[in-house]
């Protein structure tokens, strides 16, 4: 039986709005702003004969090989930004998707329909976790890559109107390398996100009402109570920062690339190239991903996430009713 | 005959309330069983236990499986329709068919499409665009296309108009039911399913108070329409129930000799609804 792929497809059917249309809108608006920016520049140019930004004529005259390399690197960064933009949307999509994953169908009672079919609770929970780990990010990457191509076409046309050829800049950029490296971040994101996926799905399966309160307010209250007891001189965890860090991992790790910042993985991160690295080979360098993949932080999180998911599977077999 | 469902001392409590109180029952293959009881009597709990949707104490076997721990295997043989509101509203008809076809080894897409072709349900419609009656038609088409051994219906026609209700049970009988299959149905509209039932099970306060075939019910219970002059004689035979119609008394008797009853007045087979009312007297008191 091809149950698991079909279950993942089911998730896509239900959450097409979040998985597909959110990145389409985010990148679409970016493209629209690009076009509006170019149109604005043109209007100002023709109205006052003012050169906005840089001089295209100058560019045409003085361009040399090094400038093309820089332009190529610039395009790599633009491609990276196109990939990163939908990730902000993806964070919210995934956060609320996971909170509702094992709750919404109990609330509208459609869980009774899904449970009338020979599908195990393990397969159900796995399909939802896998959708958050791989399906949504892969769709976002595909959409942003298409949007980047559209961006190249728009900018290329605009430059050619002004007698500039964009092809040397594209030739100097590394679109395949960049998309491959962004693709490689998806499994890292997925493993990094596991504690949050487990945490959110656990409360989604546990809550009889308002999973958001359980998943978000409860830990905040715990931290606050811990701090307050500490102020009163009672027994508490002294490392408030550590508690907050753990909470951050449980709540916020579905943010793609969350391991890049805040010393999260306990390794030195230099995701952007050094000065002088003219071909931009340091951008999302795979050997740095490897550092994250071998960090204790990541694997402790993976273990915690799998334990929470196992608890979610167990709860899914026992909790059906909600308080409406 | 082998029992499809086999329950011994089946119990389930919610807090201090006993939804099921050490219930014993068996359901044989090829039967249509009406599980009937007042609100809160434990019907839905019993069905949930059979479907593996709740834990329980005691012994329960459905088609040889333990429903709670072997739900996935069990669901290849069992279908259920809870009520009209359980199909997810975002789902498209096409997607519903593709999904069930993909996860259920005994589903026939052709059968399902054939059933749907007699309805106004379109492939590209979402469940939220369908009327209640059409949702039930879709759900029934999905379920009838599955070659299952046990079908569980929990208030399947709740909130439907009489045309849909009649059509529902008609297609169930003519296009689905055969001696290989077993149906368990709960409903408050007893009079509508009375003629299709082969077995009757009354449940009250977590206990089975009556479990019999319809033939046994017909043999055991009798209703007599008695003129006022013979009413006292009738009362002395300890009727289950008495009601007044057009100046005559109608008495319901359990296990009283028919020849004696015939002397009192005109004999009838009691309706399940009347039997139910008589058995459940004082439930809410």
Q: How many CB pairs under 8 A join A and B?
A: 77
pLDDT of residue A34 exceeding 80, the answer is yes
Model pLDDT, residue B1: 47
Number of domains making up chain A:
1
Identify the pLDDT of residue A147: 96
B147 interface with A at CB cutoff 8 Å: no
User: Could B103 and A3 be called an inter-chain contact, meaning their C-beta atoms sit closer than 8 Å?
Assistant: yes
* B82 to A7: CB separation less than 8 angstroms, yes or no: no
Mutate to test the interface with A, among B19, B80, B90 (most CBs of A within 10 A): B90
Does a structural domain hold residue A323? no
Whether A108 is in a domain gets the answer yes
Interface of B with A in 92-111 (CB under 8 A): 92, 95, 98-100, 102-105
| B248-254 sheet: strands from edge to edge | B241-245, B248-254, B221-226, B265-268
Interface of A with B (CB under 8 A): 1-3, 6-7, 9-10, 13-14, 105, 108-113, 115-120, 317-318, 320
Q: For residue range A120-146, what is the model confidence (pLDDT) as tens digits?
A: 999 999 999 999 999 999 999 999 999
Average pLDDT of the segment spanning A10-36? 95
Q: How far is A61 from chain B (nearest CA, A)?
A: 58
Domain-embedded: residue A111: yes
B132-137 contacts, C-beta under 8 A, 24 or more apart: B132/B84, B132/B159, B132/B160, B132/B164, B133/B160, B133/B161, B133/B163, B133/B164, B135/B84, B135/B85, B135/B87, B136/B81, B136/B84, B136/B160, B136/B164, B136/B168, B137/B164
pLDDT classification of A33: cutoffs 50, 70, 90? very high
Distance from CA of B162 to the nearest CA of A (A): 24
Q: Is the pLDDT of residue A262 over 50?
A: no
pLDDT at residue A57 is higher than 90: no
Residues of A in contact with B82 (CB under 8 A): 109, 112-113, 116
Q: Which of B73, B79, B102 sits opposite A116 (nearest CB)?
A: B79
pLDDT of the residue at A35: 93
From CA B80, how far away is CA A112, in angstroms rounded? 9
Which residues in chain B touch residue A3, judged by CB atoms under 8 angstroms apart? 102-103
Owning domain of residue A224: 3-316
In this structure, is residue A322 part of a structural domain?
no
A324 belongs to a structural domain: no
Across A85-94, B9-18, B191-200, the highest mean pLDDT is recorded for A85-94
DSSP A279: T
For chain B positions 38-57, those within 8 Å of chain A (CB to CB) are 48, 51, 53-55
Q: Best interface-test mutation with B: which of A10, A113, A125 has the largest number of B CBs within 10 A?
A: A113
The pLDDT value given to residue A273:
58
Q: How far apart are CA A130 and CA A136, in angstroms?
A: 9
> What pLDDT is attached to residue B84?
66
pLDDT band at A165 (very low <50, low <70, confident <90, very high): confident
Looking at mean pLDDT, say which of A174-183, A196-205, B226-235 comes out highest: A196-205
Cβ–Cβ under 8 Å, residues B29 and B150: no
The span from the first CA to the last CA of chain B, in angstroms, equals 40
Flag whether residue B141 sits within 8 Å of chain A, measured between CB atoms.
Answer: no
Q: What is the pLDDT of residue B284?
A: 67
List pLDDT tens digits, range A186-205. 999 999 999 999 999 999 99
Structural contact between residues A201 and A103, judged by C-beta atoms closer than 8 angstroms: no
CA A160 to each of CA A61, A150, A164, A293, B180: distance values in angstroms, whole numbers, following the listed order = 15, 15, 5, 44, 75
Closest CA–CA distance from residue B229 to any residue of chain A (Å)? 56
* List of residues 6+ apart from B234 with CB closer than 8 A: B224, B226, B242, B249, B251, B264, B265
The shortest CB-CB distance from A116 to any of B80, B90, B98 is to B80
Contacts of A6 in chain B (CB under 8 A): 98-99, 102-103
- Residue A233 pLDDT more than 60? yes
CATH of B3-205, one of 3.40.50.300, 3.30.1330.40, 3.90.1170.50, 3.30.930.10: 3.40.50.300
Q: Which of A1, A108, A118 sits opposite B75 (nearest CB)?
A: A118
The pLDDT > 90 percentage for chain A reads: 50
- Prediction pTM value: 0.87
B198: closest CA of chain A, how far (Å): 25
CB-based contact A13 B79, cutoff 8 Å = no
Closest-CA distance of chain B to residue A189, Å: 29
Give residue-wise pLDDT tens across range A263-292: 544 444 555 655 555 556 666 777 778 888
The answer, yes or no, to whether residue B56 has pLDDT greater than 80, is: yes
What are the two backbone dihedrals, phi and then psi, of residue A218, each rounded to the nearest 5 degrees?
A: -55, -55
Mean pLDDT of chain B: 87
Q: Among partner residues A6, A9, A110, which is closest to B86 by beta-carbon distance?
A: A110
Alpha helices in B15-121 (DSSP H): 43-50, 71-74, 93-103, 109-117
User: Which residues in chain A are closer than 8 Å to B55, comparing Cβ atoms?
Assistant: 318
Average pLDDT of span B246-268? 81
Closest residue, chain A, to B127 (C-alpha): A110
Question: Residue ranges of the domains in chain B?
Answer: 3-205, 217-279
- What is the share, in percent, of chain B residues with pLDDT greater than 70? 98
A45-59, A98-112, A153-167: which has the highest mean pLDDT? Answer: A98-112
List all residues 6 or more positions away from B128 whose beta carbon is below 8 Å from its beta carbon.
Answer: B89, B90
For chain A, say whether B138 makes contact (Cβ under 8 Å): no
* More confident site: A57 or A189: A189
Closest Cβ opposite residue A117 in set B82, B86, B100: B100
Residues A198-224 have a mean pLDDT of 92
3-state SS, residue A232: coil
Of the segments A107-116, A131-140, B11-20, B30-39, which one has the largest average pLDDT value?
Answer: A131-140
Task: Decide: B10 and B22 in contact? Cβ < 8 Å.
Answer: yes
Q: Do A115 and B71 touch (CB under 8 A)?
A: yes
- The complex scores an ipTM of 0.88
| Chain A nearest C-alpha distance from B78 (Å) | 8
pLDDT in tens, A62-111: 666 677 778 888 888 899 999 999 999 999 999 999 999 999 999 988 99
Phi, psi of A133, rounded to the nearest 5 degrees: -75, -40
In degrees and rounded to multiples of 5, residue A52 shows phi and psi of: -90, 130
């Amino acid at each position: 039986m091809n149950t698991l792929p079909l279950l993942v497809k089911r998730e896509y059917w239900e959450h097409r709005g979040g998985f597909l249309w959110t990145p389409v809108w985010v990148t679409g608006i970016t493209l629209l702003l690009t076009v509006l920016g170019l149109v604005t520049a043109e209007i100002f140019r023709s109205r006052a004969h003012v050169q906005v930004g840089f001089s295209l004529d100058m560019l045409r005259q003085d361009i040399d090989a090094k400038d093309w390399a820089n332009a190529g690197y610039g395009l790599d960064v633009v491609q990276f930004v196109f990939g990163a933009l939908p990730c902000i949307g993806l964070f919210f999509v995934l956060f609320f998707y996971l909170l509702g994953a094992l709750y919404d169908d109990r609330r509208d009672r459609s869980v009774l329909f899904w449970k009338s079919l020979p599908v195990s609770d393990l397969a159900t929970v796995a399909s939802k976790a896998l959708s958050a780990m791989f399906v949504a990010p892969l769709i976002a990457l595909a959409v942003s890559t298409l949007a980047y191509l559209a961006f190249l076409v728009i900018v290329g046309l605009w430059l050619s109107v002004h007698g500039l050829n964009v092809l040397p800049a594209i030739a100097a950029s590394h679109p395949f390398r960049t998309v491959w490296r962004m693709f490689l971040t998806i499994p890292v994101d997925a493993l990094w996100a596991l504690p949050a996926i487990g945490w959110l799905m656990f409360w989604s399966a546990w809550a009889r009402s308002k999973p958001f309160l359980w998943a978000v307010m409860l830990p905040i209250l715990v931290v606050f109570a811990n701090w307050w007891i500490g102020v009163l001189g009672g027994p508490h965890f002294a490392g408030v920062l550590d508690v907050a860090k753990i909470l951050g991992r449980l709540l916020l790790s579905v943010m793609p690339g969350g391991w890049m910042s805040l010393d999260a993985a306990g390794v030195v991160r230099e995701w952007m190239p050094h000065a002088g690295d003219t071909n931009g080979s340091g951008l999302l360098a795979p050997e740095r991903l490897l550092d994250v993949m071998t960090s204790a932080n990541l694997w402790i999180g993976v273990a915690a996430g799998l334990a929470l998911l196992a608890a979610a599977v167990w709860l899914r077999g026992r909790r059906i009713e909600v308080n409406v | 005959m082998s029992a499809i469902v086999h329950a011994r001392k089946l119990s389930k409590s919610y807090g201090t309330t006993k939804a099921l109180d050490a219930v014993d029952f068996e359901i044989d293959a090829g039967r249509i069983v009406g599980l009937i009881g007042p609100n809160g009597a434990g019907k839905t709990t019993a069905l949930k236990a059979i479907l593996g949707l709740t834990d329980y104490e005691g012994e329960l076997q459905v088609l040889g499986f333990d429903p709670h721990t072997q739900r996935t295997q069990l669901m290849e043989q069992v279908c259920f329709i809870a009520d009209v509101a359980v199909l997810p509203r975002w789902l498209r008809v096409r997607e519903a068919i593709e999904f069930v076809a993909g996860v259920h080894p005994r589903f026939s897409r052709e059968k399902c499409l054939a059933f749907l072709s007699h309805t106004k349900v379109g492939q590209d419609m979402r469940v939220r665009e369908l009327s209640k009656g059409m949702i039930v038609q879709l759900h029934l088409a999905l379920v009838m296309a599955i070659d299952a051994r046990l079908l569980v219906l929990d208030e399947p026609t709740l909130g439907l108009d009489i045309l849909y209700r009649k059509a529902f049970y008609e297609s169930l009988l003519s296009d689905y039911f055969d001696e290989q299959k077993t149906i368990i149905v709960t409903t408050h509209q007893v009079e509508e399913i009375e003629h299709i039932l082969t077995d009757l099970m009354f449940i009250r306060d977590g206990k089975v108070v009556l479990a019999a075939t319809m033939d046994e019910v017909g043999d055991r219970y009798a209703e007599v329409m008695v003129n006022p002059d013979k009413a006292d004689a009738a009362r002395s035979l300890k009727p289950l129930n008495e009601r007044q119609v057009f100046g005559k008394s109608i008495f319901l008797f359990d296990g009283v000799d028919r020849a004696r009853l015939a002397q009192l007045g005109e004999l009838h087979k009691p309706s399940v609804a009347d039997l139910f009312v008589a058995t459940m007297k004082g439930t809410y008191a």
